């Protein structure tokens, strides 16, 4: 009997953080969405206005959850206020509209006022080490840290139809990293679907690389050909911002992303 009680107590200990998080979330979403936040969405994230009413409500709940759970930290003199937090959280929340849940690994979001510099070290075949610096608009770490340039965040949100959105890109990496290191294989379900996902995404990735080698134009930014992880992140940007065009040009890719995110942006509003 003592052993059974011990097992129950152990299980209860494991469940307690999850239950506590659920209770906290219910308390958060029970609060009205602030009018000031609605104004920020109206000015800064025009894509929100194109969502069906039910999806807008769901997005606002995800914004509330994200802002209650994830700290935002300003870097290089960047001041963090609701304008920054809501603008970023609203774009990230697009990825959760159909999937639900949260970004389980995200621990903090670092925000720079502009593009930031990251040192890079690479070893050549002859053993020579080369050092350089990359200027980035965003970065996602597998330890739950997202880094964003505020100017790039604003640019990505301002035009919701250009297929370029740094927040969607970096938070797609975080979904990918929920299953381990970023490899273009986020959790998509059980059964045969993961194999179907891998088969289709690999074929689409190879097709992109082939088109680029031939100099053929396409919908996806060439950066998508860097790796399967970048392919998934870039494709996610286009999926949410240019769904009609993606569905026409790469229907198999669109279908996999539609099933992954469990939403169909092509139905939200007529877009290119």
149-204 pLDDT, tens digit each? 999 999 999 999 999 999 999 999 999 998 778 899 898 888 888 899 999 999 99
**22 falls within a domain:** no
Q: What is the average pLDDT value for the chain, to the nearest integer?
A: 86
The reported pLDDT for the residue numbered 270 is: 54
d(CA 32, CA 68) in angstroms, rounded, equals: 14
Residues 130, 133, 139, CA angle at the centre, nearest 5°?
120
The reported pLDDT for the residue numbered 86 is: 98
User: Would you place residue 29 in the very low, low, confident or very high pLDDT band (cuts 50, 70, 90)?
Assistant: low
Residue 130 predicted with pLDDT over 80: no
Task: Record the pTM.
Answer: 0.85
Decide: 152 and 166 in contact? Cβ < 8 Å: yes
Nearest CA-CA partner of 58 in 12, 106, 22, 90: 90
**6 falls within a domain:** no
What digits encode the pLDDT tens for the residues 33-70?
A: 999 999 999 999 999 999 999 999 999 999 999 999 99
d(CA 243, CA 271) in angstroms, rounded, equals: 7
Percent of the chain with pLDDT over 90: 65
**29 falls within a domain:** no
SS3 107: coil
The reported pLDDT for the residue numbered 8 is: 40
Which residues touch 141 (CB under 8 Å, ≥6 apart)? 147
**149 falls within a domain:** yes
What are the two backbone dihedrals, phi and then psi, of residue 123, each rounded to the nearest 5 degrees? Answer: -100, 130
Mean local confidence (pLDDT), 121-130: 54
**156 falls within a domain:** yes
Residue 269 predicted with pLDDT over 50: yes
Decide: 173 and 139 in contact? Cβ < 8 Å: no
Mean local confidence (pLDDT), 74-99: 97
**28 falls within a domain:** no
- Looking at the structure of the chain, the number of domains it has is 1
The CATH code of the domain that includes 160 is 3.40.390.10
Sheet holding 138-141, edge to edge: 72-74, 108-112, 145-149, 138-141
**15 falls within a domain:** no
The reported pLDDT for the residue numbered 133 is: 56
Instruction: Determine the structural domain holding residue 83 and report its residue range.
Output: 34-267
């Amino acid at each position: 009997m003592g052993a059974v009680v011990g097992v129950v107590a152990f299980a209860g200990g494991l469940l307690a953080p999850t239950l506590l998080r659920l209770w906290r979330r219910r308390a958060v979403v029970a609060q009205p969405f602030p009018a000031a936040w609605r104004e920020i969405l109206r000015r800064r994230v025009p894509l929100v206005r194109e969502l069906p009413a039910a999806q807008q409500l769901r997005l606002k709940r995800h914004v509330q959850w994200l802002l209650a759970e994830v700290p935002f930290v300003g870097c290089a003199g960047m001041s963090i206020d609701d304008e920054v937090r809501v603008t970023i959280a609203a774009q990230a929340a697009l990825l959760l509209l159909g999937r639900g849940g949260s970004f389980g690994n995200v621990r903090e979001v670092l925000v720079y006022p502009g593009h930031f510099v990251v040192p890079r070290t690479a070893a050549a075949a002859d053993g020579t080490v080369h050092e350089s610096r990359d200027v980035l608009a965003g970065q996602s770490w597998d330890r739950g840290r997202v880094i964003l340039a505020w100017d790039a965040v604003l640019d990505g949100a301002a035009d919701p139809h250009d297929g370029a959105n740094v927040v969607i890109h970096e938070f797609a990496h975080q979904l990918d990293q929920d299953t381990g290191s970023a490899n273009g294989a986020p959790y998509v379900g059980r059964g045969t679907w993961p194999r179907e996902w891998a088969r289709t995404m690999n074929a689409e990735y190879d097709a992109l690389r082939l088109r680029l080698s031939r100099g053929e134009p396409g919908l996806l930014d060439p950066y998508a050909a860097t790796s399967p992880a970048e392919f998934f992140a870039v494709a996610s940007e286009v999926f949410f911002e240019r769904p009609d065009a993606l569905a026409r040009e790469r229907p198999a890719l669109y279908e996999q992303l539609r099933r992954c995110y469990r939403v169909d942006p092509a139905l939200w509003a007529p877009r290119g």
